Amino acid sequence: MIACPPCPLLAAAPVVVSYDAERQRYTVQLDEAESEQLSVKVDNLHLIVQVELVDLAGSPHLNGAKGKVLSYDPESSRYHVQLPDGRLAALSPANLILPPETRCAVAGLESAAAQRHNGTRAKVVGYDRETGRYEVMVAEGSHLKLKRENIRV
């Protein structure tokens, strides 16, 4: 299960129960004590994802640590990440490794053949540390190998 950001109208943060790739909707449970669930469009939900921090030249002691992606700023192309000590940092996608099963979108592909995948919803299958690329499965079931910079949460 994946946690969502806290909502001031709810007693606790909603929890993602499942994902329907065909409908591109999450089933979200609003409260542990209640059985009420909602079907939510992908674009109407922001997930908090735990990531591994990597290649931080200015803070090498954080390499290998876990952080939580709280948001993404498209203007700066940086994620706002909560560090293990609670501080926030604005980090490049190149400084994060997403775990398998993370739902994401493909972005920033430039070749004519690959541009058609920009904006496509995908799921992280794995990450190859030797090549520095994710393997992602896009909605139609095909697999792509993408750089860290080409994935958005």
- The answer to whether the beta carbons of residues 143 and 122 sit under 8 Å apart is no
Strands (E), the chain: 2-3, 15-20, 25-29, 37-41, 49-53, 66-73, 78-82, 88-91, 96-97, 103-106, 121-128, 133-138, 143-147, 151-152
Range of lowest pLDDT (9-23, 24-38, 109-123, 124-138): 9-23
For residues 75 and 58, give the distance between their C-alpha atoms in angstroms, rounded to a whole number: 22
25 falls in which pLDDT band (50, 70, 90)?
confident
23 falls in which pLDDT band (50, 70, 90)?
confident
Query: Between these two residues, 4 and 125, which has the higher pLDDT value?
Result: 125
3 falls in which pLDDT band (50, 70, 90)?
very low
Quick one: what percent of the chain has pLDDT higher than 90? 61
Q: What is the mean pLDDT of residues 32-57?
A: 82
